[in-house]
Amino acid sequence: QVQLVESGGDLVQPGGSLRLSCAASGFTFSSAYMSWYRQAPGKQREFVARITTGDTTYYSEVVKGRFTISRDNAKNTVYLQMNSLKPEDTAVYHCNVHIGVIDYWGQGTQVTVSS
C-alpha cells in the first residue's frame, strides 16, 4: 500500500531554515509527481510545491524564491528546503502523491515559525 511519511518539522525562529523529508513506499516513486501542501490552523490546505518525474518544479507564489523541492529516486524521498521562514509559514506540512484517481497523503509534520 502507498505510504508517505514526513519528518523534519520543528520550531524555528523567523528567518531560519528547515528541511522536510517525505519517505515514500508502495508505488513506483520515480514515475510519480510529488507535491507538498500545508494547512495552517483554521485554514484550508494549500499547495506549496510540486516536482515532476523530469525534475521540473512548481511553487506557490508565497513560497517562490524561499523554498526548494527536490527528490532522490534512489531513496524514494522528496525534500522541501525552506529558507527565510516567516511566521505565516507555520502549518502542518503534508506530502502528496496522485495515483490514478486517488490522492494519497502523509500524516504531516508540524512547522512552527516563532520567536
pLDDT tens-digit series, residues 73-84: 999 999 999 999
33-58 per-position pLDDT tens digit: 999 999 999 999 999 999 999 999 99
9-35 per-position pLDDT tens digit: 999 999 999 999 999 999 999 999 999
Check residue 94 and give left, alpha or beta (phi > 0: left; psi -120 to 50: alpha): beta
Distance of CA 11 to the CA centre of its chain: 16
For residue 113, what are the CA distances in angstroms to 17, 31, 40, 92? 10, 33, 12, 11
End-to-end CA distance of the chain: 40
Bridge partner residues of 78 (DSSP):
22, 71
